[in-house]
Structure 1
């Protein structure tokens, strides 16, 4: 049975009485982590530190893994998120000279194996299914969101953070807000997507009273759209079309992240070079050949327009 050892989450009797968790979260802000990431770290770490000393042993980590996996029944991705939070926290403490970070070795031995044993592919829908999904949207706001996701492959939080001023409709591109996971911030879209965005902006401008929120994408409430609103709008429309099973396996569900999977896979199948896809996705460049392979914005846009699939959406 999972044993708890309730202590103040920010101190240990062997360490200075300073709020190390708050110091870590402040460090995350300094490193420009997104508010959502910082909040996730805070939640995971408070849960762990309320049950274990601030200097955990391998046995503490093992019992925590069993608790999350077997008693809580969390998915592999959720378990990994907890241990990723722990690793970041103890990496900070090691940097500050407080204690050694033993989490990476533990993750290599236990978490990687656990994830591999339960790995599932996300669902990939066809071009025709994507067209049906977008056409099924009964509100121009959702239609614009689905189209923008499919045509750019951006993450949900990146879409939420976009403001009206970040969009350049005359040149068919947008500039994303800075994000810890993002390298290239300029994203392109084609004329098909541009037309739907124009329809969306026209709808906004015709609303009374006038919409003054600076966010590009709004929810039905008239202000910046929420993460959950996007999730439920996506899964609800996909479920109506028969390719989202809310109680099924990962490959039977269609969630907002599946748009990114769709974009990446269909660009690759169209023949788009891997380096171009990486740049469009904003992936970090790790190999030397990637770092020194300079791709101009003109080359990137031309390649994007050459390979992005046309969906023949109803306008």
Structure 2
């Protein structure tokens, strides 16, 4: 797309042509702080859609567009989802600027893209919605179980990393966690938001023991084990229809799916790839990555901006 530059906004109420719409949309994305790569993807998808269907497209046109990219062009499920994620952002902008009355993309996605099993090879791991994650956290009646699930989802840490945490590793005031050093982990400092803090405080305020482990078993009062973490997550998921232990992999919801949820929703919220890699603690693959230093405050700001809010309390 070339260099992305801001443009001078004029009255949005004058009938804009497609080129003008794209320019206004680009400027809006810049103002919202999206990365260059994210903006390029959004703009490319929006341009293609406008060429095919126009700005006043309704559900009939949306269905035709989906059939075109899915069946005629044979795009993968992930690509189709990316297209409609971009279009949702674009039409949200159009609605905000009163160019259209309503953004119909979310309703369309809910009805058509969730029926992907009829048309596509399923993804290898299940990705649940933000709304389903909120339900998942609320299912267990035990504070530690609720805290465990939201902590996994909001930090994206691995199961073993969760198990080895001590109370001394978490700073509730700064909402940070210092993970134990492992071969897989490059960045040991991760963040959580105020929503997660409330659940952690609720759980820790009920602790009256001297056990140093952050998460302890309900029965024995000692550090949790791998099986307990698995059982907490899968039992909660099963109760709301998100986990089928006898089904295929994409019908399972395990602790690792929380890491998948964390990664995917940060990406869909516009976080830069390098920031996501840093939060995940992924090993740096190229020599230049070692010198690509990311300031902690910058990383925290990006995290708080992009991490999904579940809108729930203990």
Which TM-score applies when normalising by structure 2? 0.60
Q: 2:84 aligns to what?
A: none
- Structure 2 Cα separation of the partners of residues 212 and 128 of structure 1: 36
Where do 1:188-207 residues align within 5 Å? 188-205=191-208
Q: 2:260 aligns to what?
A: 261
* The one of 211, 214, 220 aligned to 1:213: 211
Q: Is the 8 A contact 2:199 2:313 kept in 1?
A: no
Q: 1:142 aligns to what?
A: 145
* The one of 160, 164, 173 aligned to 1:161: 164
Q: 1:233 aligns to what?
A: 232
- Structure 1 Cα separation of the partners of residues 177 and 211 of structure 2: 18
The offset of 1:313, in angstroms, is 1.5
Q: Secondary structure of the residue that 2:311 maps to in structure 1? A: coil
- Structure 2 Cα separation of the partners of residues 312 and 142 of structure 1: 18
Where do 1:217-296 residues align within 5 Å? 217-221=215-219, 222-296=221-295
The offset of 1:119, in angstroms, is 9.6
Q: Secondary structure of the residue that 2:283 maps to in structure 1? A: coil
Mean CA deviation greater in 285-294 or 295-304: 285-294
- Structure 2 Cα separation of the partners of residues 311 and 278 of structure 1: 23
Matched positions, count = 193
- Structure 1 Cα separation of the partners of residues 236 and 165 of structure 2: 23
Runs of 4+ off more than 6 Å: none
Q: Is the 8 A contact 2:198 2:313 kept in 1?
A: no
The offset of 1:293, in angstroms, is 1.1
- Which structure 1 segments of 5+ residues have no match? 1-117, 206-210
- Structure 2 Cα separation of the partners of residues 309 and 289 of structure 1: 30
* The one of 121, 127, 143 aligned to 2:124: 121
- Which structure 2 segments of 5+ residues have no match? 1-120
The offset of 1:120, in angstroms, is 5.5
Q: Secondary structure of the residue that 2:267 maps to in structure 1? A: helix
Where do 1:32-111 residues align within 5 Å? none
Q: 1:130 aligns to what?
A: 133
The offset of 1:246, in angstroms, is 0.3
The offset of 1:314, in angstroms, is 2.5
Q: Does 1:312 align with 2:311?
A: yes
Tell me the C-alpha RMSD between the 2 structures: 1.4
